Amino acid sequence: MRLKVAVLAGDGIGPEVTREALSILRAVAELGGHDFTFVEGLIGGVAITATGSPLPTATLDAALDSDAVLLGAVGDNKFNSLTPDKRPEAGLLQIRQALGGFANLRPSIAYPALSASSPLRPEVTKDTDILFVRELLGGLYFGAPRWWNKETNEAINTMRYTRDEVVRVARIAFELASKRRKKVTSVDKANVLEVSQLWRATVTEIAKDYPDVTLEHQLVDSMAMHIMNIPRNFDVVLTENLFGDILSDEAGVITGSLGMLPSATIGGAVNLYEPVHGSAPDIAGTGKANPLGAILTAAMVLRHSAGLEQDARAVEQAVHKVLEAGYRTADIARGGDSVQMVSTQQMGKHVHQALAESIDRRQSLHAV
């Protein structure tokens, strides 16, 4: 298997967690005999410092010439004085648009070993396995007109969707649900917003093409409560850009930390992969960052761009094994005497070792 990955480590803890994710991808390539090529590029604050742009042309060209893009994180408070279109985060929005991925996949899983890390009771989070499918190129984040008139103290953003935009992301959700537990929960605000009324009508129409998948609708405010009360009731959660951003971050409470959450953006010319957490500049360079979100993001690269499902599962199982063994970074360091605090790099090494043992065992079984 050949795979070319553009690596955009970005700002803050981005380079630290990306380094551990790359170590895992290289291990999979070496142990499985695959040919993975990695091309580095600048994005965000480091790109502004080096080139004056949050997304240099060279970075975008490298991304478009790759099979996948692995991104660490963007953002740094020292750029807050810049206008929004010049800040590090603008580079992220620009590359999302340029790559064309419209479906953002965000898993939220309750790891038994991390039950003490969640403020929710273990009996609430037990067996939770949610896949959020967030529409990523429409809604308030991209709708026009948008402006802030500081003289009149007035600002406006526009929530806008077309039927075709809803159709394409809905089909992704139903296809994924058909391979999981066959349930889609579509989240909107149809009791107030015309955009949500279009969303609900369109999703209902698309559901007819998937008779084996159950569809239910939830209003976003009630859904925010249900995720905290009955998270195991949900399988694939489909929603628009703003609601998906908020709800999937909220679901970090189930896992115990945003540092555990991976994501993949699919559907465009090149898939974009990034952990959900931000750049966390306050802990950059301290060795406290949790690399597991980035490592699980690497597993999504293997699944959705390389087509290596077995290897993707092996990475995920290695993460489970390391957590069961009691290894923790600072953000998930709860659980009593059985917990052993480790650094970013040490956590990556433990996952690497567990993965190598898993793949070696699998290869030995095949050889018998």
pLDDT digits (tens, 9 = 90+) for 73-88: 999 999 999 988 899 9
Catalytic residue among 61, 209, 221, 360: 221
Token couple for 76: 């740094």
Catalytic residue among 76, 189, 311, 327: 189
Q: Say whether 76 is catalytic.
A: no
pLDDT digits (tens, 9 = 90+) for 145-161: 999 999 999 999 999 99
Q: Say whether 189 is catalytic.
A: yes
What average pLDDT does the segment 226-231 reach? 97
- Tell me the pLDDT of the chain averaged across its residues: 95
Q: Say whether 111 is catalytic.
A: no
Token couple for 173: 């959700």
- Does pLDDT of 366 surpass 70? no
What average pLDDT does the segment 275-300 reach? 96
What average pLDDT does the segment 307-328 reach? 96
Q: Say whether 85 is catalytic.
A: no
Catalytic residue among 4, 183, 249, 349: 249
Do 78 and 45 contact (CB within 8 A), yes or no? yes
d(CA 322, CA 50): 38
What pLDDT shows up at residue 281? 94
What pLDDT shows up at residue 359? 79
Look up the pTM and report it: 0.92
Q: Say whether 182 is catalytic.
A: no
What average pLDDT does the segment 53-71 reach? 98
Provide the b/e sequence for 306-332 (b: ≥16 CB within 10 Å). bebeebbebbbebbebbbeeebbbbbb
**Number of Cβ atoms within 10 Å of the Cβ of 114:** 23
Catalytic residue among 245, 311, 321, 327: 245
pLDDT band at 368 (very low <50, low <70, confident <90, very high): very low
What average pLDDT does the segment 223-252 reach? 96
d(CA 150, CA 171): 41
What average pLDDT does the segment 60-73 reach? 98
Omega within 30 of 0 (cis) for the link into 145: yes
What average pLDDT does the segment 134-148 reach? 94
- Does pLDDT of 364 surpass 60? no
Compute the Cα dihedral for 304, 310, 314, 316 and give only its sign.
positive
Helix (H) or strand (E) holding 248: helix 241-250
Do 238 and 169 contact (CB within 8 A), yes or no? yes
- Does pLDDT of 113 surpass 80? yes
DSSP 8-state symbol, 266: E
Catalytic residue among 4, 86, 141, 182: 141
